[in-house]
Amino acid sequence: MRRSMLFIPGNTPNLLMNGDVLGADSIILDLEDAVSPAEKDSARILVRNALKSLHYKGCEIIIRINPVETDYWTHDLDEIIPLKPNMIMPPKVSCAQDVKTVSEYIAKLEEKCGFEKNTVKLIPLIETAMGVENAFQIASADERVAALFLGGEDLTADLRCKRTKEGNEIFYARTRLVCAARACGVDVYDTPFTDVDDIDGLYTDAQFAKSLGFSGKASISPRHVEGINEVFSPTQAEIDYAHEVMETIRIAKEQGKGVVSLRGKMIDAPIVERARQVIEMEKAMFGGTEDDE
């Protein structure tokens, strides 16, 4: 389950040490924008040591490396891959080749470390106009790609428009990414809401992202994590309905019925699939229910 992804600057020991207690499903340990060029080395070492010595229980680890056009990204991967993070987030990915470049380098390191192939997944950060236009190619570039992530700040700079709370300027990019990701069967994550103090605004933005089809949302502030988790969690009514759907299907199968309906509505494959997803989320959130035992 990945509803919230929290950015943690790679040069903040206190936050690195407490990354797993802040409520986020995933934490993104950042070696890129949060770290000035003078601190790249020390942040990389700090993140490496954090991965070595901290458990990060119940929390997925994503490392945002530096972009492929810099000299840093291979050093980042050299240090980080041996510690087997769950995912690598290459930033400013504009085309399929960017993904392949990173993936091939990771493959070599995986082999060197004796890891199974494609152990470490990729979540390309798409934050350029070119990246948005190439979203489908990026999502389908490599088996390693498990999700796409939209970066609204750099994108609006590239689009030469102002980033607003309403987000009209990134509407196209949002829907384009959702469509590309879903077409490739991977997850898709929305850009952070950057006004840290505006919790109401965060809810509105997250609800809108969910309505477009995003799997979850990133955050630059721990204060947003709870709201994001709440928005991207199924409601109790949705959970109850999902169990009802599965129960109806089970009874129908027992009775040998082909077509069944619930509350006057036919239960077709997409409804069953949605119910299954909701129950999976429920299991991840609460550790399963009596129904599953």
Partner 1 sequence: MSKLVASIKEAIEQCGLKDGMTISFHHHMRNGDYVLNMVLDQIAKMGFKNLTVNASSIFDVHEPIIEHIKNGVVTGIECNYMGAKVGKAISEGIMDKPVVFRSHGGRASDMEKGTSVIDIAFIAAPTSDDMGNCTGKVGKSACGSIGYAFADAMNAKKVVVITDNLVEYPLVDFSIPEVYVDCVVAVDQIGDPAGIVSGTTKITRDPVGLKMASYAAKVIEASGLLKDGFSFQTGAGGATLATAKYVKEMMLEKGIQGSYGMGGITGYMVDMLQEGCFKALLDVQCFDLKAVESIRTNPKHMEVSATQYAGVSGKSAGVDNLDVVLLGATQVDLDFNVNVHTDSNGYIMGGSGGHCDTAAGAKLAIIIAPLTRARLPLVVDRCLCISTPGKTVDVVVTQRGIAVNTAGGKNQELKQKLIDAKLPVVEIADLKRMGEELAGVPKPIKMGDKVVAKVIYRDGTLLDEIHSVK
CB of 13 to partner 1, least distance (A): 8
Cα–Cα–Cα angle for 239, 208, 181, nearest 5°? 80
**Beta carbon nearer to partner 1, 71 or 286:** 286
**Helical ranges in the chain per DSSP H:** 13-17, 40-53, 73-80, 96-113, 129-133, 135-139, 152-159, 171-184, 199-212, 225-232, 236-254, 269-286
If binding is defined by CB under 8 A, does position 165 make contact with partner 1? no
Q: Which of residues 44-63 bind partner 1 (CB under 8 A)?
A: 53-55
If binding is defined by CB under 8 A, does position 250 make contact with partner 1? no
- From the list 92, 190, 90, the residue with the least C-alpha distance to 145 is 90
| Kind of pairing between the strands at 147-150 and 261-262 | unpaired
Q: DSSP for 18-67? A: TGGGS--SEEEEESSTTS-GGGHHHHHHHHHHHHHH---TT-EEEEE---
If binding is defined by CB under 8 A, does position 122 make contact with partner 1? no
What would the two tokens of residue 92 be?
Answer: 């400013």
- Binding footprint of partner 1, residue count (CB under 8 A): 13
If binding is defined by CB under 8 A, does position 18 make contact with partner 1? yes
If binding is defined by CB under 8 A, does position 255 make contact with partner 1? no
**Beta carbon nearer to partner 1, 77 or 202:** 202
- From the list 30, 29, 23, the residue with the least C-alpha distance to 1 is 23
**Beta carbon nearer to partner 1, 131 or 227:** 227
If binding is defined by CB under 8 A, does position 183 make contact with partner 1? no
**Beta carbon nearer to partner 1, 21 or 113:** 21
What would the two tokens of residue 203 be?
Answer: 């809810």
Q: Which of residues 203-232 bind partner 1 (CB under 8 A)?
A: 221-223
**Beta carbon nearer to partner 1, 164 or 289:** 289
**Contact positions vs partner 1 (CB under 8 A):** 14-15, 17-18, 21-23, 53-55, 221-223
